Chains A and B, each alone.
Chain A
């Protein structure tokens, strides 16, 4: 503690800078270049204070507090210099600007009585060029007018220090200094990722949110959780007149700490899209007819009752939604089990991270990430496998990137040269489908070089000798030709991963969407076990879950074999039956992929798909459609008439967006966070939980679904799921809690397996044989197609395609190596036909050396392209997830190929 005198009064402060001390004491000094998210720079000088005994003033933001300091924050000198510096800034600022209370600069001008219209402009034009200063009014979200720049450099610094994108650059010097994007030109041509951090921090209106300019500043702000990826960023959603305008990151959010990405911050307008359906509909004779809610409930009840009566519960299936809340998914599985009496309940985890959950459950005992995002800043090294976090989990990506820029080691294993791969110490650009041998070879190299944690192996693992014998044959030399990388690089990857402690593993769908998806993840767990990177801060094996609540939807029991808590039915059915006061079916339910097989065979007759465009997102779309067409009843519950509804839907139930309801989401790191209603329900739409409750009541199960709020549902979840019992709404009013959280006193669990695994003190290594995917190239199908997401779009595009993101990324693209394109005489941005053994699609080409020769990468967000017509026929051998990542295809120019279009 330091004793200091501030403005004549004695204070104790705990150190740090003078500014931090002043803020802690609620003594206000103006600052323009300060933002707690970035390092202090001492440029604006407004925070300068007088220290007795020092002739010059000192910038409080960069000067540390010292014992006995006598500080004057508003002495005559200090205030005079503040007014002078503010006046100098005002004289370089457009005089016609109206007062905007949201801008710090405007507030200070008013506070110091400086009138823009009276101070007089010194320079009108950029003095270096005599041209107007940089403006960009063409970006869908950002509006730039550097005439209003006050040179605080916050845009540059937040772009560098938080996002790690280095877009904003200072050009020229002195009073000719101008801030422009890296290319010097418009933002859309720059390396900008539209995260909006610069607009968020700009104090003078030079960079602002375009939507705020066009629609007016939000009048209300509601704290909620983002509805895009599984990172789970908390944010304030700004609304005005019942419309979502923009979101603001929360500084105290543990996951995103004051940062958001282009989706979370800006891509909200889908809630107000013109084609949103807000009235229930029934299709008769091929035409959709609007009906009332009671009517639609009765219609569904009749049809389901009839099918159940004829064919029994095995003929119906329900799909929960990764977009819906935990409460709604819990109700969905309860609906399937109690109302329909069926375990045919699944969710989209089946097509993404079911292998992760299964592998982690099998090897370590808990089917979820072992550590937390806050471990990123502790980790000294990262192994990122089959994940592209800077695009698909942008906040996690940015945090990893910052840690790497600060010196942490990075190994990337990915068939593509992703953005993180450019920052990596080693990038193993392996062939798709060779995860298992690659990680075996890394394990081999770790053991061979002695880079293992012997103490951890002794204390926390079993049968290391058996594993060592098993792995002996998996030499890097043997794997190198299989994976298409050098043995030297494999050894280097092992050495780098083991060279620092702790080291964290992150993996994505590049690990799971394979025939050996589950097994690949088990191999990754081997590496963490070998190096002792489990149960410690900054370590672990962490799946990056794809969607906001995909962890939650499966965890709430939208799983044919498991009830809430990812617990096998046999283990908890008795308890659950007591709470439900209804029997829990014991028959083995069907996974989503098996449901589809059953539909194809005619044994499944009805499907209720909540917030899940199955036709568009399933692989082998043509086969999927054929199977779906056989169903007698397809109920689609969504915001939009999605591809499934359009193609095979019989009933449409208009649900609402997550801005229109309350509940909770569960992110990738097991954190349960609140979702709050920000705007009124649009039209006659309803929350999923209300629809489920009312439909259940119509079908005769009023009592079992008699919840008056999401919180009431959640309180039942807490009874059913022991590890979540301590997570009450009251406790997660701020910041959420990570399970296991056994009771209301429990602080939640940031790191799993610290002392022991749920399966015991020791874990086993997985000895897995390599069974290559049968999906191989031939002369007819010479390319391997890999698929995945891109930054500005999200999954089925249902949300993101209906926002300004469509301007940033208008359609899907097929990444192709320029050499391959040259041989096929394909030009950049030319539309081509890709054909696999399963189907065909037309898609524009993007030439890039991010992919290796002979490999292609396509996104799958645009129904006009329908990439999944082409994708994989294979499934994971353990949990049946489709192999989206490996499909043999050929590429052809279109018959009457239009001349190549140059990039717009």
Chain B
């Protein structure tokens, strides 16, 4: 009835619409941190237009679309949940997944009332693994309580935070866990249709999920899943942008309220969870919520997967229980850096504060990380060694920020680019003048205080954390 209101102009928002995923060098932050290992590849990444941000091969940075090899997968906890099976290749097929007990959670849930599943998710105290850490049970309950006939569940597989490749390998190795979880979510909240929004940078995951979707049709009993491939846009990882993208609207952030749980996809109640969050669901259904909540610590319950970048002695994927010190992850699991001392680390993407080595004893948990100005984020960790200059890092992150800004609000549209220019000047050319320094400071303030969404705010927080924690290094560049 409503004529198509959008067309080519929406496609033009995305930078990879017409770009094949081959012979592209990654311009992500992990590859930036490792650029001294392969200068030629990094230079190529800088030259290529459009850029590709994070191919999810951070364990082998600097990487390209042609980089092969797999990250080690290790368990730092007994009875792993989300990475179980990711360390092998025997659960990629429906048959293999079922052999390991796959789809028994769906069967169990369907045998009882949907609310039972919602209640178990609430009891589990599971929090969203996509960044915000919002209690999953509360979202599920909200959508469950909506009376609309049509509801949707959406798997956010737009894992764009640099240094993170957790969802990628869950989808590549155990794609049916995502599908089963999505069907479980649909059963619980009353949705007949689910979407998987997967980034184009993950072609292997796409193939695995597509194959699994075909195989799973018989067990899904009418629950329909549609796979949407992103066309290159970091902001689509934000849930309301993602919904706009599925609707083929310009993927700008929607003002909230209303929340997607009430007015989401096509204005219908919608549950959006990221892949890792969903991957915990079958275990919770099989073992019950209390068993999940018994693991972890403080307000961060259950297990968490983390991914370490290529500068570590032992890069790769780890599943652990919340509460261990960050230092344990970096030094014990990761084995420290190949080249020696840590200079700093980013946890969960660049839209939060940088972590200084003096802060590494922080317990790994949502509130605990936030307390030192950092974040849990996606759980991707990019460590930097002495090869990284903080001004270069700022110029790199702000270049990414400007390129990925949706452009809706003034400070982010123009401010990120201007800040990047000033950081690059300071990093590569000369000290900034008084006037330029004041300008930069005022832009960062405006970004922090007046941005429409977390993109601009997060960039400002990142810059501020460097000004604070690495004052000695950066201060002289600003007069």
Which A residues fall within an 8 A CB radius of B?
40-46, 48, 55-57, 59, 62, 77, 80-81, 83-85, 87-89, 91-92, 122, 151, 153, 160, 166, 169-177, 180, 182, 184, 405, 422-425
In Å, the complex CA distance between A153 and B8 comes to 18
Q: List 19 A-B contacts (CB under 8 A).
A: A45-B452, A56-B450, A56-B457, A62-B255, A81-B449, A84-B442, A84-B443, A85-B411, A85-B450, A88-B411, A88-B443, A169-B6, A170-B407, A171-B12, A175-B414, A175-B417, A176-B407, A182-B7, A423-B2
- Is B402's beta carbon under 8 Å from chain A? yes
Bound state CA distance, A180 and B7, in angstroms? Answer: 12
Complex-state Cα separation, A89 to B414, whole angstroms: 7
Residue B1, interface by CB 8 Å: yes
Contact indicator A170/B9 (Cβ below 8 Å):
yes
Which residues of the partner chain B approach A88 to less than 8 Å between Cβ atoms?
Answer: 410-411, 413-415, 418, 443, 446
> Does the CB pair A44–B409 fall under 8 Å?
yes
- 5 further A-B contacts with Cβ under 8 Å, apart from A56-B450, A176-B407, are A84-B442, A122-B417, A151-B410, A175-B405, A405-B2
**In contact, A171 and B442 (Cβ under 8 angstroms):** no
Give chain A's interface secondary structure class: loop
Least CB distance, B473 to chain A, in whole angstroms: 26
Q: Indicate if the CB atoms of B7 and A174 lie closer than 8 Å.
A: no
**A628→B9 CA distance, assembly (Å):** 57
Pairwise interchain contact B450-A174, C-beta atoms closer than 8 A: no
Measured between C-beta atoms, what is the minimum distance from A71 to chain B in Å?
A: 15
Residue of A nearest to B452 (CB): A42
Contact B410 A89 (CB under 8 A): yes
A92-B414 contact, Cβ under 8 Å, with A45-B409, A173-B407, A425-B1: yes
Determine the chain B residues whose CB is within 8 A of the CB of A180 once the complex forms.
Answer: 9
CA gap between A177 and B233 in the complex, in Å: 14
Taking CB atoms, residues of chain A closer than 8 Å to B445 are 77, 80-81, 84
Q: How far, in whole Å, are A91 and B415 apart by their CA atoms in the complex?
A: 11
Q: Does residue B20 face the partner (Cβ distance < 8 Å to A)?
A: no
In the complex, chain B residues 409-426 whose Cβ is within 8 Å of any chain A Cβ = 409-411, 413-418, 421
CA distance A459 to B279 in the complex (A): 63
B residues within 8 A CB of A424? 1
Please indicate the chain B residues that have their CB under 8 angstroms from the CB of A77 in the complex. Answer: 445, 449
> A48 touching B414 by the CB < 8 A rule?
no
Are A177 and B407 in contact, CB atoms less than 8 angstroms apart? yes
- Docked pose: A314 CA to B409 CA in angstroms: 73
- A153: which B residues are within 8 A, CB to CB? 408
Nearest 8 interchain pairs by C-beta:
A88-B414, A169-B9, A177-B407, A84-B446, A174-B405, A45-B450, A174-B407, A84-B442
In the complex the two chains form, what is the Cα distance from A752 to B62 in whole Å? 76
The interface residues of chain B lying within 8 Å CB-to-CB of A87 are 442
Q: Which residues of B contact A151 (CB under 8 A)?
A: 407-408, 410, 413
Complex interface: chain B residues within 8 A of A57 (CB): 449-450
Interface residues of B in 1-35 (CB under 8 A from A): 1-3, 5-9, 12-14
How far is B7's CA from A151's CA once the two chains are assembled, in angstroms?
19
Q: How many residues of B contact A (CB 8 A)?
A: 41
Q: Which of B3, B410, B442, B457 contacts A80 (CB 8 A)?
A: B442
Complex-state Cα separation, A83 to B449, whole angstroms: 13
In the complex, B250 has a CB within 8 A of chain A: yes
A85 touches B446 (CB 8 A): yes
Asked if A174 meets B402 with Cβ closer than 8 Å, knowing A77-B445, A81-B450, A89-B414, the reply is yes
- Report chain A residues within 8 Å CB of B449: 48, 55-57, 77, 81
Asked if B8 contacts A184 (CB within 8 A), the reply is yes
Chain B CB within 10 Å — which of A56, A89, A170 has the most?
A170
What are the residues of chain B within 8 A of A80 when measuring CB–CB? 442, 445-446
CA distance A55 to B445 in the complex (A): 11
Please determine whether A175 and B407 come into contact, CB atoms closer than 8 angstroms.
yes
With A and B bound together, what is the CA distance between A45 and B2 in angstroms? 31
Contact, CB under 8 Å: A174 / B410: no
CA distance A151 to B412 in the complex (A): 12
* Most central of A45, A46, A425 by chain B CB within 10 Å: A45
CB distance from B361 to the nearest CB of A (A): 26
Is the pair B403, A174 in contact by a Cβ cutoff of 8 Å? yes
Given known contacts A45-B411, A56-B449, A184-B8, is B418 in contact with A122 (CB within 8 Å)? yes
On chain B, the residues within 8 Å of A55 by CB distance are 449
Q: How far, in angstroms, from A91 to B411 measured CA to CA in the complex? A: 12
Residues of B within 8 A of A171 (CB): 9, 12-13
- Residue on A with the closest CB to B415? A88
Q: Say yes or no for B406: interface residue by CB 8 A criterion.
A: yes
B404 contacts A by Cβ under 8 Å: yes
Most buried by A among B9, B255, B411: B9
The answer to whether B448 has its CB under 8 Å from any CB of chain A is yes
The residue in chain B whose Cβ has the minimal distance to the Cβ of A57 is B449
| Bound form: Cα–Cα A568–B413 in Å | 68
- Shortest distance between the CB of B429 and any CB in chain A (Å): 17
Nearest-CB residue, chain B, relative to A409: B1
A151 → B minimal CB distance (Å): 6
User: Which partner residue on chain A sits nearest B401 by CB separation?
Assistant: A174
Contacts A42-B409, A175-B413 hold; do A56 and B402 have CB atoms under 8 A apart?
no
Chain A nearest CB from B390 CB (Å) reads 23
Residues of B within 8 A of A169 (CB): 6-7, 9
User: Which of B14, B250, B410, B457 has the most A CB atoms < 10 Å from its CB?
Assistant: B410
Contact with A along B382-412 (1 / 0, CB 8 A): 0000000000000000000011111111110
User: Which B residues touch A46, using CB under 8 A?
Assistant: 410
C-alpha gap A55/B446 in the complex (Å): 12
Q: Which residue of the partner chain A has the closest CB to B406?
A: A173
Query: With A42-B255, A122-B417, A177-B407 as given contacts, are A56 and B233 in contact (CB-CB < 8 Å)?
Result: no
Distance of B257 from chain A, by nearest CB (Å): 9
In angstroms, Cα B407 to Cα A174, docked, is 4
Q: How far is the CA of A88 from the CA of B421 in the complex (A)?
A: 13
Interface pair B407/A81, CB less than 8 Å apart: no
Interface centre among A44, A55, A160 (most CB of B within 10 A): A44
Tell me which residues across on chain A come within 8 A of B409, comparing CB atoms.
42-45
Which of A85, A173, A422, A423 makes the CB contact (< 8 A) with B405? A173
B457 CB contacts on chain A under 8 angstroms: 56
A160-B5 contact, Cβ under 8 Å, with A43-B409, A122-B414? yes
Shortest CB distance B442–A (Å): 4
Cross-interface CB contact of A175 among B2, B13, B233, B402, cutoff 8 Å: B402
Verify A56–B414 contact, CB threshold 8 A.
Answer: no
Interface centre among A83, A151, A160, A423 (most CB of B within 10 A): A151
